[in-house]
A = this chain, B = another copy of it.
């Protein structure tokens, strides 16, 4: 059987399974508790796209959808010995509850990590969380009443939009260009919202190697963004999971470095070390940090001691920054593979050129719809996330987020080739029958799954 035949066979099976999965998701089940749910829960539902992703996770599909880091380079023998020693020597501490704010030993290390972003914090400013996702959840819980406005980049991280939606926030997008958030547009957005009497609680922003847009807020704009928010009395929620993963240069100063009292800074070990421990953090102004600790204690009592002390010890005893440098090089090679393949196979599209992180943001030729094209892409054994996932307002149909973090370079090139085939077929259809862009109605932001982060 030749490769094409095998692919066709896979495609057929996948087509059938995808159809069955979509039918199951759409089918109604009898739910005796349906009328008991909170208002916020009625929007929580598994979508067709989600079912499709279950299919897309098969090994024969090249997934350019996932946000999972490639952790193959981690020093497993070192970690095995380190953890074994920790359990033998400090077992009763590792296996016990800890304090709600997180271990001081880890918070001291976190303060050192944040120095790379020019943030000078005190361990007392830090609260350790179950990944920075929980920090997102806690900040939203502490600040958002239903109907409050959060201003966020267009597009924004799907997992943040999911949290904002769970707290019934109203997300207003503000545009970016290749240098990140546009200060003049942000100022105008905040001014218009104030004039309309809307309550803006915070600006949510990913300044470095943006997820999904792949762009970085320029050095010049950083103090401007801080000044604009301060002038409008709006807190900044700075989400920085990828900051240390820049390819060509040292990190730019974080927004928090300009005014620590106006910024809640979120960090994570999921991309610079490993997500399996579920450890992230928030650094916040003192009174906000106190609220975050109380909210976290209500939600989980305390973060994992096993995870916290493992990470603290790794940071103390391993050359972790060398590991980060290896990650940088590995991801840079993958970015180069992706951009090279895009130039070769998809010259009719446009894309951003990321200087770090995991993602590039593709703009399809006019008339194409990334959302309706996705099932055909999966049938052709390549997966991506439709741009619509990254907008709260139903736009984004012409966009695609492509991840280069997980598959090796050769698979990335193969994935882009397959995607290009789908795009070409789609363009032919559009030329014959007109635009396939669906109207923006009925769009819902979904809860993220780990393969979309």
Q: Name A71-108 residues within 8 Å CB distance of B.
A: 71-72, 74, 76-77, 79-81, 83-85, 87-88, 91-100
Contact A99 B450 (CB under 8 A): yes
Chain A 140-171: CB-based contact to B (< 8 A → 1; otherwise 0): 01111100100000000001001101110000
Smallest CB separation, A37 vs chain B (Å): 6
A123: CB under 8 A from chain B? no
Smallest CB separation, A186 vs chain B (Å): 18
- Cα–Cα, bound, A304→B306 (Å): 10
Minimal Cβ-Cβ distance residue in B for A133: B301
Smallest CB separation, A125 vs chain B (Å): 14
Contact A68 B96 (CB under 8 A): yes
- Cα–Cα, bound, A37→B142 (Å): 6
A386: CB under 8 A from chain B? no
Contact A142 B41 (CB under 8 A): yes
Chain B contacts of A305 at CB under 8 A? 276
Q: Name A291-324 residues within 8 Å CB distance of B.
A: 291, 294-295, 297-307, 310
Q: Name A275-290 residues within 8 Å CB distance of B.
A: 275-278, 285-288, 290
Chain B contacts of A299 at CB under 8 A? 130, 133-134, 137, 163, 166, 299
- Cα–Cα, bound, A294→B163 (Å): 11
Contact A145 B96 (CB under 8 A): no
A13: CB under 8 A from chain B? no
Minimal Cβ-Cβ distance residue in B for A306: B276
Smallest CB separation, A26 vs chain B (Å): 14
**A98-B137 CB under 8 A given contacts A44-B294, A76-B91, A80-B87:** no
Contact A276 B142 (CB under 8 A): no
Residue of A81, A94, A299, A304 most packed against chain B (CB within 10 A): A299
- Cα–Cα, bound, A31→B143 (Å): 14
Chain B contacts of A74 at CB under 8 A? 91-92, 95
- Cα–Cα, bound, A91→B276 (Å): 10
- Grouping DSSP codes into helix (H, G, I), strand (E, B) and loop, the A interface class, with mixed when no group exceeds half, is helix
Smallest CB separation, A255 vs chain B (Å): 16
Contact B33 A235 (CB under 8 A): yes
Contact A278 B300 (CB under 8 A): yes
Contact B84 A166 (CB under 8 A): no
- Residue of B31, B40, B100, B141 touching A41 (CB-CB under 8 A): B141
- Residue of B96, B285, B307 touching A32 (CB-CB under 8 A): B285
Contact A72 B92 (CB under 8 A): yes
- Residue of B94, B97, B285 touching A68 (CB-CB under 8 A): B97
Minimal Cβ-Cβ distance residue in B for A287: B31
Residue of A81, A275, A448 most packed against chain B (CB within 10 A): A275
Chain B contacts of A307 at CB under 8 A? 278, 304, 306-307
Contact B83 A450 (CB under 8 A): no
- Residue of B69, B235, B301 touching A453 (CB-CB under 8 A): B301
Q: Name A54-81 residues within 8 Å CB distance of B.
A: 68-69, 71-72, 74, 76-77, 79-81
Residue of A68, A278, A451 most packed against chain B (CB within 10 A): A278
What are 19 A-to-B residue pairs whose CB atoms are below 8 Å? Answer: A29-B287, A38-B141, A38-B143, A38-B145, A39-B145, A41-B142, A41-B291, A44-B291, A79-B87, A97-B451, A131-B301, A134-B299, A162-B298, A166-B295, A166-B298, A278-B300, A295-B447, A297-B448, A301-B449
**4 nearest A-B residue pairs (beta carbon):** A31-B287, A97-B450, A95-B274, A95-B276
